[in-house]
Amino acid sequence: MSFGSTLSRAIAVDAVPGAALLAGLVALPCLVIALTGSGALVLTATNFLVMLIAVLGISLFSGNSGIISFGNVAFMAIGAQVSATLTLPPAIKTANLPLLPVFLQSIQLDFWSATAAALIVVIIVALASGLALVRMSPTSASIATLGLLIIVNSIIVGAQGFTRGSQAMYGVPKLVGLPMAVGLAVVAIIATRLYRDSVTGIRLRAGRDNDAAARACGIDVPAERLRAWVAGAILSGLAGAMFAHMLTVFSAKSFYFDLTFSIIAMMVVGGMASVTGAVSGAVVITVLIEILRRLENGFSLGGLQVPQIFGLTQVGLSVAILVILYGGQTGLLGFREIDSFLPKSWRRQRALPAAASAQARADDGGDVLSVQKLTKSYGGLVAVSDVSLSVRRGEIVGLIGPNGSGKTTLLGCIAGTHAATSGDIRIGTLSLNGLAPHAIARLGIGRTFQTVRLFANMTVLENVTAALADAERGSGLDALAGRAMDLLAEMGIAELSGHIAGTLAYGQQRRVEIARAVAVSPAFLLLDEPTAGMNDVETGVILATLKRLVAERNIGLLIVDHDMKLIMSLCDRIVVLNKGALIAEGSPDEIQGNKNVQEAYLGRRHARLAGNQA
């Protein structure tokens, strides 16, 4: 395989032009300043670029995972602390850091080696903190990142002798100038942008948009979060090392709440969920400050002399942030990247596949999904009681019952989102008991939800790609996107591929959700009310699609629906639940004639009446 194709497998080729353009738009003015600007302007531009890398560090994690991190400044602190310890002249170290081991006191490294060493420490801390953090709910995780910031700050203050404690770390050599900052910022922008559209980036964003659905697609959301957490930490650590070697002095308090809030403000103003947003936030705030701080010193406007007003910068900046966030709650850019502003002809178009091609995955797993004596209780309430059922591949089984009879809970137990209290779930001989939802999905069980759960801020193509990614590990992004297009064509919605999923009509969303469930190459598909809220035409389309899927892909279908016409015409076999227990099982005809079923649906008296009339 050639280098080029290896590279294109690893990175999101489609994102390259946008990433390069964004990096260029940042780099060019800064290079002009480097060549022609005054000393103060050069410093301003360098500060801006270091802040930009810090913003990208948080954005890489927070933008893609939806978890706001207050903790990345801790990585900046570590980056600054460790790298500066290694670049400080030995004479200053012996005087100021007396507890350092002799070998550390006597060495003096260059910026790159020192930063590399600092980043190793950053990675270790990121892994250790990340392992716990990525398993928490987004809100708890956010608070935990705040805890990390406080812990790292306290350790640096407390480790006086190894560090400077709360005192200023000074004498750091000035090793970061504008040209180096431009280079590193370009790398950071491109890396963050390509990450966003990479396979792992798409999977993480799927988890951000809908955690449960992502797991049902086989995505190991915590693992994806951990990758982004570490990658973001590396960028933050780099920004910290640059900060130290740009200003030559810092102290523990430099990397605390003030800096955290400045960086988060930049990210939120521009739009947290896109790289272009993070970059524009940093640009807008920097430019605003530069204009405001000049106005602050007094100016004349048409003969009117406005005096120096200190505080104008801060007030003006705060007002601007309020106005921007009032105008659009997701910041200037929202979820958009610079690519969406490019002329369409610049963007690569994915060809619509000429014909739909069914490519059922030959599965060597078992042919039967079986549930044995499954019970699920919540405290004293038994939602599912001692239910046994099975679904063969190629078979369509309907699961019906009155509201609250335990249908959705049963599906949840099979898919792993609910832990069964007792009982046994298997594919063939393979036990699914206790497995995480993403692991169950990877074993060949796809599902849709009672209420549509798409990755609302991602395109239809990305929705399906995210789900494919885990079924076909190791495939390049390009190949995955191609397969996703095929699948969309098969479902008859190829023309929707570029649309943002959340903006689609309800019926279309349902079809995307089914396509996404099929993308995990399931042997079995669990569908929870797939036609709820649809008109007859839409229901008809879904019906035909499902029949075709079962026939062409040999999928076993377990379907919950209240539409009896649909259930009766679609299903080979029907299982009826009432109050958590299985009350009947059989062919559609048998079920229609079953007394127990009529009683369950209509009440005993009405059922008798109905029976007498029949």
Partner 1 sequence: MFRKSLNLGVATLGLAMMLGGPAHAEETFKLGFLGGLTGYLAPYDQPSLDGLTFGVDEINKAGGLQGKYKIELVSRDMRSETAESAVIAQELAGAGVNFLVVPCDVDPAVAAGQISAAAGIPTMSSCASTPTLPGIVGEYMFSNYTADNLQAAALGDYAMKQGYKNAFVMLSKDTPYTQKLPEYFVEVFKKKGGSIAGIIEYKMGQQDFAAEVTKIKGLSPAPDVIMTSAYEPDFPAFIKALRAAGITTPVLGSDGIDSPTTLALGDVAEGVVFTNAGFATEGSALAKFFADYKAAKGKEPETLYVATGYDIVKVLDAAVGASQGKLDGKSLRDAVDGLENVAVATGTMTYKGMNRVPLRTVALNKVTGGARALVELVTPAAADVPAAQ
Residues that bind partner 1 (CB under 8 A): 38-40, 43-44, 47, 157-158, 160, 165-168, 170-171, 243, 246-251, 253-254, 258, 290-291, 293-297, 299, 301, 308, 310-311, 313-314
Return phi, psi of residue 194, to 5°: -70, -35
Pick from 139, 150, 166, 179: nearest CA to 42: 179
Residue 72: closest CA among 302, 355, 340, 264: 264
Please say which residue, 160 or 450, places its beta carbon nearer to partner 1: 160
The residue (of 290 and 495) whose beta carbon lies closer to partner 1 is 290
**Cα–Cα distance, 411 to 384 (Å, whole number):** 11
- CB closer to partner 1 out of 210 and 251: 251
Which DSSP state fits 307?
A: P
Q: Which residue in 327, 343, 612, 392 sits closest to 523, CA to CA? A: 392
DSSP state of 135: T
Q: Which residue has the tokens 């009766």?
A: 568
CA 254 to chain centroid: 30
CB of 323 to partner 1, least distance (A): 9
Tell the burial category of 505 from Cβ atoms under 10 Å away from its Cβ (0-12, 13-18, 19+). exposed
Identity of the residue, 309 or 430, whose beta carbon is nearer to partner 1 in the bound complex? 309
Closer residue to partner 1 (CB): 283 or 460: 283
* Minimum CB–partner distance for residue 77 and partner 1 (Å): 14
Minimum distance of partner 1 from residue 40's CB (angstroms)? 4
Closer residue to partner 1, CB minimum distance, 111 or 229: 111
Q: How far is the CB of 151 from partner 1 (least distance, A)?
A: 14
Count Cβ atoms within 10 A of the Cβ of residue 181 and give its class: 0-12 exposed, 13-18 middle, 19 or more buried: buried
Ramachandran region, residue 394 (left: φ > 0; alpha: ψ -120 to 50; beta: rest): left
Neighbours of 112 (CB within 10 A): 12
Tell me how far, at minimum, the Cβ of 291 lies from partner 1, in Å: 4
Nearer of residues 50 and 217 to partner 1, judged by Cβ: 50
CA dist 514 and 216 (Å) reads 12
Residue 147's Cα: distance from chain center in Å? 22
Give the list of residues 6+ apart from residue 459 with CB closer than 8 angstroms, or none.
497, 498, 499, 500, 501
In the complex with partner 1, which residue's Cβ is closer, 329 or 612? 329
CB 278 within 8 A of CB 56: yes
d(CA 392, CA 554): 9
**Helical spans, DSSP H, in 360-496:** 407-415, 437-442, 460-471, 477-490
Smallest distance from partner 1 to CB 361, Å: 53
User: Which phi and psi angles does 521 have, rounded to 5°?
Assistant: 50, 60
Q: Which residue, 109 or 288, is less far from partner 1 as judged by CB?
A: 288
Neighbours of 343 (CB within 10 A): 6
Q: Give the gyration radius of the chain's Cα atoms.
A: 29
- For the bound state, the minimum distance from the C-beta of residue 179 to partner 1, rounded and expressed in Å, comes to 17
Q: How far is the CB of 374 from partner 1 (least distance, A)?
A: 53
Least separation in angstroms between residue 275's CB and partner 1 is 23
Residue at 439: amino acid letter: A
Place of tokens 């059989």: 586
Residue with tokens 């298997």: 426
The nearer residue to partner 1, 50 or 519, going by C-beta atoms, is 50
Reference 278, options 571, 598, 26; nearest CA is: 26
Q: How far is the CB of 25 from partner 1 (least distance, A)?
A: 18
d(CA 293, CA 613): 87
CB of 279 to partner 1, least distance (A): 18
Closest CB to partner 1 among 156 and 420? 156
Q: Which helix (H) or strand (E) holds 371?
A: strand 368-378
Nearer to partner 1, 140 or 314 (CB): 314
| Least Å from the CB of residue 175 to partner 1 | 14
| Closer by beta carbon to partner 1, 242 or else 400 | 242
Q: What are phi and psi of 567, to 5 degrees?
A: -60, -45
Measure the CA–CA gap between 507 and 4, rounded to whole angstroms: 41
Give 582's strand partners: 577
Nearer to partner 1, 295 or 543 (CB): 295
Tokens of 601: 């649906």
Give me the least distance between CB of 255 and partner 1, in Å please: 11
Name the minimum Å distance from CB 290 to partner 1: 7
Cα separations in angstroms, 471 against 226, 267, 494: 20, 34, 20
DSSP state of 578: E
